[in-house]
């Protein structure tokens, strides 16, 4: 990775000069300007001293080899600038960017909505079964290189069906790539179909029915997109249908939305995992409930930084959440847009919060335990984790 993207991926701080509730234009030029401001600010404002290069190298190698699961990954959010430009050319899609570097410069955000604007724009280049295969396969290769043994990935069908790209196009592409990755690399996979919460609950129900031919190949359903003003209670019918079909249920909540959205996800939707959930800390009773239940939070540190949920990774509350007894996992969310895949999230968070190898092992263990895989598969991955940790002379 070269140029601005390489620099951005190494930042542990970000200046979010524009408030999360401000409505601003998100042209490539304005995003590039905000990116330059963030770069200049971060150079002067990092709370953490520069880490020892030897320590970083050793920690990076430890993290990369650590068997882990990734539980919060949007496959459309793994669309790297190079692939975006390639697919645009393949499919005759005109982009508002001159080249790959212009795309990279546009990958700078002030809040969730500013990210979603370009996320949906980028998805427009995905048009054929081969496109979806290439997207999925590229992510799984990267995940395998990061030590991922199991990944339970989100996809957004409504992003495609509203462009008249049907399930019969993207599902075969996804599923073939997943099968090939398991055969070639041994990566275990599952697909979670997300409903877009900025659309009405009735649209989620329609999407669930439209996916009927593939229900038996889905792991579960989820809820994503713009959180604020779109509470989980709007999607009860779709989640009830998923439960009746034997599918798992997860929900994005407590990222930009209030803690009450986490409670609503648990009570109204029967969520078995909470995606993000960092604002749970604002509600002591909810914290106790999450700690007692063991329901995992799929936390995405670099995403929280890039979307201005926090200004500095050193301010992230995931260690406090873990110390309070919550089950925390680390994930990459939309890695092409947020400066790093899952190993990068482990590394940057460890450096920012001064985490120990034992802390990282605990997060990896949580990730395996929180999968929806069989008990036998979980036990196999846990043995691999224990063997790896023993090889480093650590106590897991």
The full set of domains in the chain, from first to last, is 53-78+129-391 (3.20.20.140)
Supply the pLDDT for residue 179: 98
- Residue 19 tokens read as 């408030």
What's residue 13's pLDDT?
66
Mean pLDDT on 302-310: 93
Average pLDDT over residues 102-109: 84
With a cut of 90, say whether residue 117 has pLDDT above it.
no
The residue among 207, 322, 198 whose CA lies nearest residue 256 is 198
Q: Provide DSSP, 270-315.
A: --SEEEE-GGGGG-HHHHHHHHHH-PEEEE-HHHHHHTTS-SBGGG
- The values of phi and psi at residue 275, to 5°, are -90, 120
For the chain, the straight-line distance linking the first and the last C-alpha, in angstroms and rounded, comes to 33
Provide the 8-state DSSP code for 214: G
What pLDDT is stored for residue 15 in this prediction?
Answer: 53
* Interval 248-270 mean pLDDT: 97
Active centre residues (catalytic):
255
- What are 277's two structure tokens? 């959930």
Predicted TM-score (pTM) of the model is: 0.88
Q: What does the pLDDT read at residue 297?
A: 98
User: How high is the pLDDT of residue 20?
Assistant: 37
**Whether pLDDT at 22 is above 70:** no
Category of 176 on φ-ψ map: left (φ > 0), alpha (ψ -120 to 50) or beta: alpha
* Ramachandran angles phi, psi of 252, nearest 5°: -70, 130
Residue 26 reports pLDDT greater than 70: no
According to the model, what pLDDT value does residue 16 have?
A: 66
d(CA 277, CA 322): 12
Most confident of 7-16, 20-29, 31-40, 140-149: 140-149
Q: Is the pLDDT of residue 173 over 90?
A: yes
Q: What are the φ/ψ torsions at residue 389 (nearest 5 degrees)?
A: -65, -45
Whether residue 38 has pLDDT greater than 60: no
pLDDT (average), residues 92-96: 91
Residue 27 has φ and ψ, to the nearest 5°, of -70, 160
Return the structure tokens found at 121: 């724009």
Percent of the chain with pLDDT over 90: 79
Backbone angles phi, psi at 315, to 5 degrees: -90, -5
The average pLDDT across 244-273 equals 98
The helix (H) or strand (E) run that includes residue 221 is strand 220-224
What are the tens digits of pLDDT across the range 220-258? 999 999 999 999 999 999 999 999 999 999 999 999 999
Tell me the mean pLDDT in the region 121-147: 96
Q: Quote the tokens at residue 188.
A: 């275990």
Residues in a beta bridge with 297: 274, 328
pLDDT, mean of residues 11-36: 41
* Across 326-347, average pLDDT: 97
Asked whether the predicted pLDDT for residue 300 surpasses 70, the reply is: yes
Is the pLDDT reported for residue 363 higher than 70? yes
pLDDT higher than threshold 50 for residue 31: no
Q: Please give the pLDDT value at position 108.
A: 77
**What's the whole-number average pLDDT of the chain?**
89
- The pLDDT score that the predictor gives to residue 50 is 76
pLDDT at 47: 56
Gap between the Cα atoms of 178 and 80, Å rounded: 18
What angle (nearest 5°) sits at the alpha carbon of residue 208, between those of residues 206 and 211?
110
Average the pLDDT over 90-118 and give the result. 86
Q: Is pLDDT of 10 > 80?
A: no
Cα 36 to Cα 23: distance, rounded to the nearest angstrom: 20
Q: What digits encode the pLDDT tens for the residues 189-221?
A: 999 999 999 999 999 999 999 999 999 999 999
Neighbours of 52 (CB within 10 A): 10
pLDDT band at 5 (very low <50, low <70, confident <90, very high): very low
Q: Which residues pair with 150 in a beta bridge?
A: 69, 188
Question: Where residue 11 falls among pLDDT bands split at 50, 70, 90?
Answer: low
Is it the case that residue 369 has pLDDT exceeding 80? Answer: yes
Helix or strand run (H / E) with residue 220 = strand 220-224
> HSE on the CB side for 163, CA within 13 Å?
17
Q: C-alpha angle with apex 290: 287 to 291, nearest 5 degrees?
A: 85
Assess whether pLDDT exceeds 50 at residue 160. Answer: yes
pLDDT above 80 for 34: no
């Amino acid at each position: 990775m070269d140029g601005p993207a390489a620099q951005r991926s190494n930042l542990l701080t970000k200046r979010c000069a524009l408030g999360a509730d401000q409505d601003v234009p998100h042209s490539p030029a304005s995003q590039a300007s905000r990116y330059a401001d963030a770069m200049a600010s971060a150079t002067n404002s990092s709370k953490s001293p520069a880490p020892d290069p030897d320590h970083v190298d050793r920690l990076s190698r430890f993290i990369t080899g650590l068997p882990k699961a990734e539980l919060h990954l949007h496959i459309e959010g793994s669309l790297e600038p190079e692939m975006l430009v390639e697919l645009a050319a393949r499919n005759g899609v005109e982009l508002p960017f001159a080249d790959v570097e212009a795309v990279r410069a546009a990958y700078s955000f002030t809040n969730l909505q500013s990210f979603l604007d370009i996320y949906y724009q980028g998805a427009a280049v995905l048009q054929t079964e081969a496109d979806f295969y290439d997207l999925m396969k590229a992510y799984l290769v990267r995940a395998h290189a990061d030590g991922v043994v199991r990944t339970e990935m989100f996809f957004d069908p409504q992003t495609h069906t509203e462009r008249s790209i049907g399930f019969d196009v993207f599902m075969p592409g996804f599923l073939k790539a997943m099968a090939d990755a398991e055969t070639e690399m041994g990566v275990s996979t599952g697909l979670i179909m997300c409903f877009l919460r900025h659309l009405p609950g009735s649209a989620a129900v329609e999407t669930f029915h439209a996916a009927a031919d593939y229900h038996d190949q889905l792991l579960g359903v989820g809820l994503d997109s713009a959180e604020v003003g779109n509470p989980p209670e709007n999607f009860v019918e779709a989640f009830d249908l998923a439960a009746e079909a034997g599918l798992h249920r997860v929900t994005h909540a407590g990222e930009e939305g209030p803690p009450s959205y986490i409670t609503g996800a648990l009570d109204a939707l029967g969520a078995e995992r909470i995606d993000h959930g960092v604002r749970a800390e604002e509600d002591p009773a909810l914290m106790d409930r999450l700690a007692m239940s063991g329901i995992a939070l799929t936390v995405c540190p670099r995403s929280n930084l890039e979307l201005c949920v926090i200004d500095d990774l050193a301010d992230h509350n995931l260690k406090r959440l873990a110390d309070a007894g919550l089950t925390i996992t680390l994930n990459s969310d939309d890695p092409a847009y947020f400066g790093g895949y899952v190993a990068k999230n482990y590394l940057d968070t460890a450096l920012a919060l001064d985490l120990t190898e034992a802390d990282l092992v605990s997060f990896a263990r949580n990730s395996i335990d929180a999968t929806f895989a069989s008990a036998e598969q979980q036990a196999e991955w846990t043995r691999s984790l224990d063997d790896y940790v023993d090889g480093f002379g650590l106590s897991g």
